[in-house]
Amino acid sequence: MAESRIIHGFHAVTARIRQNADSVLEMYVDTQRKDPRARDLLKLAESNGVRIIQVDGKRLDGMAGNSRHQGVVARVDAAQKVQHLDDVLDTLTEPALLLVLDGVQDPHNLGACLRSADAFGVHAVIAPKDRAVGINATVEKVACGAAQTVPYITVTNLARTLRELQERDIWVIGMDGEAETNLYDVQHQGAVAWVLGAEGEGLRRLTRETCDQLVRIPMQGSVESLNVSVSTGVCLYEARRQRVVKP
């Protein structure tokens, strides 16, 4: 039997069926859900040959660990398609736009980062295998399908990976609240990897030292810093804006 894991929530389950229906082993739906949203999902699952099991809410609570499952849970194949960074970079037709997350451990933050990465056309998200949350059910739910659309690549040695990116002429920019350079003073229409650190800790020393440049987000109010997922959205928006703005 294939190794499996649980995902939950309408966005996560719908995205998984649309993008990789063969990986959905079973879908469990609350018998009390008779609304249009539930009917649409059932129709989608049936048309893709997904096995549907009607259960009560208590069983779904147990399967989802009492998370907010919205009345739908799916058991999916846990095997991830192996993706290598070179495979992504070698197929690009525009300068690379990468997001590197240095040890983000909160699944809600990772899910939100993936959602922003999808919205702003990031080609891949890179993270260390250790000291990072990885893709789980909460991440998939918060990401609203982005966990299926944005390549998520884990690496053993993050600093070494950053150096490999630099060898490919990809400019590595780290976010640091103490940096002298302002985000909006940086021109980065070329290939770039944005590096953001973990919640509260920021970039690790070796990661920071490996970056080509450190920049900060200018703050106008009394708040000293932003959540890593918010910072990600700000940086990626500015990166994409600069790529589409007319000279």
Binding site for S-adenosyl-L-methionine, by residue number, is: 197, 217, 226
| C-beta of residue 104 within 8 angstroms of C-beta of residue 198 | yes
- Binding-site annotation, residues: 197, 217, 226
Number of C-beta neighbours around residue 137 at 10 A? 22
